[in-house]
Amino acid sequence: MDFSPLPTSSLVGAFLLAFPALFSIVNPVGASLIFDQAMGGRSRDERRKLARQIGFYAFLVLLGSLLLGGYILNFFGVSLGALRVAGGLVVAIRAWSLLMDPQEQEDRKASQTEPAQRHEDVAFFPLTMPFTTGPGSISVAIALSSQRPTEGAAVAPFFVGAGLAAAVVAVLVWLCYSASGRMMRLLGPSGARVLSRLVAFLLLCIGVQIIASGAENLMAKFLTAHHA
């Protein structure tokens, strides 16, 4: 029995679980406004090239975290239920901070781009790590990987769906960063802050869902051991 209402053993279910969480934590729309401010001194062609590189690197970071994160923690003896509870707590706490103080998060993001204003080779550091896909994004991806099914046949569709979600988020990073000037004129700082609060609330709900799934898994193991 799986607490999650989404059939994570299917490609579509995994995509519908992973995409909102990754989109919420990466927030390509809000980040594109900070990207536009930081890259204001560069030409449009340079910014488009950087956007394409950042999107590619972001995909690699998210995909690697999705594929390997849960297994690495399991290697150290962390059970799947414990991993889900811990990962859900990380997601929920991260979402809460985004929801309660978006200005602080914007200031932190802006400070991460400062080295990018002084150097040329900045696509991976700092614009991908930690600006676009930092520790928060990696921890969310690892938490999502803990939602993988335990059945062998269902694992592949889960990772295909989650990987597709990472790819779509990376494409959105590329598109939003490429059009960052237009995004700035369309939304402005206040509009981006409202959007950030909305996606943070969505991320909070997903974090609670992951915690509930892990708690159910731990409770089922406890009851099984108790009755054995």
- DSSP per residue, 107-149: HHHHHHTGGGGT-S--TTTTIIIIIIS-HHHHHHHHHHHTT--
Residue 29 has pLDDT above 50, yes or no: yes
In a domain, 135, yes or no: yes
In a domain, 20, yes or no: yes
Task: Select the more confidently predicted residue: 196 or 151.
Answer: 196
Q: With beta carbons less than 8 A apart as the criterion, state whether 42 and 114 touch.
A: no
Mean per-residue pLDDT of the chain: 85
Long-range Cβ pairs for the range 154-159 (8 Å, 24+): 154/8, 154/9, 154/10, 157/9, 157/10, 157/11, 157/14, 158/8, 158/9, 158/10, 158/11, 158/13, 158/14, 159/14, 159/66, 159/67
In a domain, 5, yes or no: no
CA 79 → CA 72, 130, 151, distances in Å?
Answer: 11, 28, 15
Q: pLDDT by residue (tens digit) across 33-65?
A: 889 888 877 888 999 999 999 999 999 999 999
Task: Select the more confidently predicted residue: 99 or 158.
Answer: 158
Q: pLDDT by residue (tens digit) across 117-159?
A: 656 678 998 899 989 998 889 988 988 888 888 777 888 999 9
In a domain, 1, yes or no: no
In a domain, 215, yes or no: yes
In a domain, 221, yes or no: yes
Work out the burial of residue 175: count CB atoms within 10 Å of its CB; fewer than 13 is exposed, 13-18 middle, 19 or more buried. middle
Residue 183 has pLDDT above 50, yes or no: yes
In a domain, 2, yes or no: no
Residue 228 has pLDDT above 70, yes or no: no
Residue 161 has pLDDT above 80, yes or no: yes
Instruction: State which amino acid sits at residue 176.
Output: C
Pick from 42-46, 67-71, 115-119, 218-222: least confident: 115-119
Q: How far apart are CA 112 and CA 225, in angstroms?
A: 48
* Other CB atoms within 10 A of residue 199 CB: 21
Name residue, tokens 């700082």: 189
Residue 110 binned pLDDT confidence (cut-offs 50, 70, 90): confident
The first and second tokens of residue 134, run together, are: 């930092």
Determine the pLDDT at residue 84: 83
Q: Which residues of 19-32 are buried (b: 16+ CB within 10 A; e: fewer)?
A: bbbbbbbbbbbbbb
In a domain, 6, yes or no: no
Radius of gyration for the chain, computed over Cα atoms and rounded to the nearest angstrom: 18
Determine the pLDDT at residue 26: 93
In this prediction, residues 193-222 reach a mean pLDDT of 86
Work out the burial of residue 48: count CB atoms within 10 Å of its CB; fewer than 13 is exposed, 13-18 middle, 19 or more buried. middle
In this prediction, residues 9-14 reach a mean pLDDT of 89
Q: With beta carbons less than 8 A apart as the criterion, state whether 79 and 224 touch.
A: no
φ and ψ at 127, to 5 degrees? -75, -30
Tell me how many domains the chain contains. Answer: 1
Pick the most confident of 56-65, 78-87, 187-196.
56-65
Determine the pLDDT at residue 1: 35
Domain of residue 101 covers 11-227
